[in-house]
């Protein structure tokens, strides 16, 4: 089941295969904050910034490609798709 980052009810990241992948991307984007140290573990607890959460989502269209399609075959289609989104 794919997961993505959401805020205000909207998906703001692409779909990833696991919660851990989404968490890593959120960290890279600076959306993870440290809470005061947990007494048991003696280190800060990390959470997503206020208003952000990870939840399951529909797979991205590119994830539904047939297994026989190569990146070279799908390159122009991706460019056309991303160009039309702009």
- Determine the pLDDT at residue 13: 96
Q: Is residue 57 within 8 Å of 41, Cβ to Cβ?
A: no
What pLDDT digit, counting tens, does each position of 28-67 carry?
Answer: 999 999 888 767 777 788 899 999 999 999 998 875 555 4
Q: What is the DSSP letter of 64?
A: G
Q: What is the percent of the chain with per-residue pLDDT over 70, rounded to a whole number?
A: 69
Question: What is the reported pLDDT for 36?
Answer: 84
Question: What residues have CB less than 8 Å from 28, skipping those under 6 apart?
Answer: none
Q: Is the dihedral of CA 77, 80, 85, 86 positive or negative?
A: positive
Strands of 1-86, DSSP E: 3-7, 10-11, 32-38, 43-48, 52-56
Give 81's pLDDT tier (boundaries 50, 70, 90): very low
pTM, entire model: 0.63
Which pLDDT does position 84 carry in this prediction?
Answer: 37
């Amino acid at each position: 089941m794919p997961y993505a980052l959401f805020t205000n009810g909207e998906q703001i990241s692409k779909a990833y295969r696991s919660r851990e992948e989404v968490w890593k991307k959120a960290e890279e984007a600076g959306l993870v904050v440290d809470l005061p140290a947990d007494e048991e573990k003696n280190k800060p607890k990390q959470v997503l910034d206020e208003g952000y959460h990870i939840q399951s989502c529909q797979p991205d269209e590119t994830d539904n490609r047939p297994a026989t399609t190569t990146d070279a075959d799908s390159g122009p289609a991706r460019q056309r798709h991303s160009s039309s989104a702009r």
